[in-house]
Amino acid sequence: MSFGSRARAAADAYGPLCVGVDPHAALLEQWGVGDTLDGLKRFADACVEAFAGQVAFVKPQAAFFERFGARGMSVLEDTIAGLRHTGSLVVLDVKRGDVGSTAAAYADAYLDEDSPTAADAVTVSPYLGLGSVDPFFEVAEKNDAGVFVLALTSNPDAPLVQHASTADGPTVAGAVLADLARRNAGASPMGSAGAVVGATIGETAENLDINGPLLVPGFGAQGGTVEDLRRLFGDVWPQMIASSSRDVLRAGPDPAALRAAAQAVAATLESA
């Protein structure tokens, strides 16, 4: 099955929630496991036990594992392995962006099934040109994986780039969204080319109907509300995947408490 098909099936089964797995130093200390390699492993193991086969999407942030070096990456490999093929889909948040053979190498690292860090989907940056993400889509197609491209993010400096007009007229964000819609044309139930659109971007006149998944960070503790989701994504609700981390992870370190927190957030989305 394509990633788009699996994403729709997962969301139908568990609700459109993506739980961010962000083991930053403050959270490891808050959990009482310590900002150490052992603390990272205990954190990751708890998340796998809590979320595998219980939520539709789990999004490890690679940077928080990379900061521990090769041993941290080993923990990331174990985390991905523990989550995949359980019913939950792993969206690896790496935001890679490069050109040519380097982009292809990144794609092989995170999307090729022969790689120990292969995920169901990754996040990428298109700001070296739309063609720079082609290698990711090529590897993704061979491995039935997905690619989420940054389009409309919530960080304060984003409009400087994303709202800028291109030579052809549309904004940079609009050009990204149109490219994704082109890649997804004709796919059913939806394509595997996704966009990252923040829950707290305010208003937008861009066409968000890309016939593909929309990864929406910022829901919950970061300020995004159910009303924001309704307003921004009401017309494309079946494509929307709301990502939340703090509202869930603050319940740790007990796996049962983490799972209950995730289910509560998922229920809020379902009620919407």
- DSSP, res 131: G
- First CA to last CA across the chain, in angstroms? 28
Short-list 84, 34, 46, CA closest to 258 = 46
Quick one: tokens of 160?
């400087």
Helices (H), 15-166: 25-31, 37-51, 62-66, 69-83, 100-111, 134-142, 159-162
Separation of alpha carbons 177 and 63, rounded Å: 26
Q: Which residues does 142 contact at the CB level (< 8 Å), separation at least 6?
A: 112
Catalytic-residue membership of 41: no
Residue 87 exposed, middle or buried by CB count within 10 Å (0-12, 13-18, 19+): middle
Separation of alpha carbons 239 and 223, rounded Å: 21
Q: Which of 41, 59, 95, 142 is catalytic?
A: 95
Alpha-carbon distances of 194 from 28, 57, 83, 181, 215, rounded to whole Å: 31, 14, 21, 9, 7
Q: Angle, nearest 10°, between helix axes 134-142 and 100-111?
A: 30
Residues involved in catalysis: 95
